[in-house]
């Protein structure tokens, strides 16, 4: 039995969940709401030209979901269902088949992503695979109303830290860790894993994988050394 970790954007999902969020948001936000989102992004661009380090994924998600402040859990649930339905065509079904094989072998599957936790949970339910999800938190108050705030983006070394916690909480110490991922930001996770596999890698990650002897995922039946 192994712990099999899977990145989402670019790996299990072949597009960007941020762009899917933007696409769905176009149909539901008012011009005033979009004004505030665009204003924040423009401010970030200006600050970046001044030398500040700006993470535009964090900036966009924070600004976007601030416009969701005051909505209840049911309303947000319906929004995330719309995201999943819009993103259906981006699913990497070859990789899904591989995960089904892992599950059949008794492996524990964990989806690790910077995408929002409730979105990932619904996505995994639609795929009908057994997997735990570790994403970025979206906060609600005691009444179940969205506060508009998100947690620390689950990316880079944060994925490793949260995976270690999950392993401890699930008594999975000592199990072989697999990692499927597609980008340089996932290098800490790939380095942590006992078995690293790159999926549709960026050119930069492909070069690193060649040097490290990591494998590349090619189909639901096969991996090969790069």
Quickly count: other Cβ atoms within 10 Å of residue 206's Cβ. 15
> Which stretches of the chain drop beneath a pLDDT of 70?
52, 54, 219-226
Nearest-CA neighbor of 13 among 86, 108, 102, 107?
86
Of the candidates 79, 154, 85, the residue with the CA atom closest to the CA atom of residue 117: 154
Distances (CA, A) of 200 to 14, 183, 205: 9, 9, 10
Taking domain 2-225, whether its CATH number is 3.40.50.1000 is answered by yes
The rounded distance, in Å, linking the Cα atoms of 189 and 180 is 9
Q: Determine the Cα–Cα distance for residues 129 and 91; give it in Å rounded to an integer.
A: 13
Render the burial of 188-204: b for 16+ CB within 10 Å, e for the rest: bbbebbeebbbbbbeee
pLDDT at 223: 43
């Amino acid at each position: 039995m192994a712990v099999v970790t899977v990145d989402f954007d670019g790996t299990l999902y072949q597009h960007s969940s941020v762009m899917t969020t933007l696409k769905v948001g176009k149909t539901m936000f008012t011009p005033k709401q979009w004004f505030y989102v665009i204003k924040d992004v423009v401010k970030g661009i200006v600050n970046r030209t001044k030398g500040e380090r700006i993470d535009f994924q964090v900036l966009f998600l924070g600004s976007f979901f601030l416009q969701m402040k005051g909505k209840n859990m049911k309303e947000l649930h319906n929004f995330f269902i719309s995201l999943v339905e819009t993103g259906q065509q981006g699913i990497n079904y070859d990789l899904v088949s591989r995960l089904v094989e892992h599950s059949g072998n008794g492996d524990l599957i964990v989806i690790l992503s910077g995408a929002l936790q409730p979105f990932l949970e619904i996505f995994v339910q639609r795929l009908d695979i057994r997997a735990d999800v570790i994403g970025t938190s979206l906060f609600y108050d005691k009444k179940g109303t969205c506060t508009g705030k998100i947690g620390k983006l689950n990316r880079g070394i944060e994925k490793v830290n949260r995976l270690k916690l999950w392993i401890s909480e699930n008594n999975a110490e000592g199990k072989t860790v697999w990692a499927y991922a597609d980008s340089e930001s996932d290098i800490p996770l790939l380095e942590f894993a006992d078995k690293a596999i790159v999926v549709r890698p960026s050119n930069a990650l492909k070069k690193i994988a060649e040097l490290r002897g990591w494998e590349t995922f090619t189909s639901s039946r096969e991996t090969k050394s790069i």
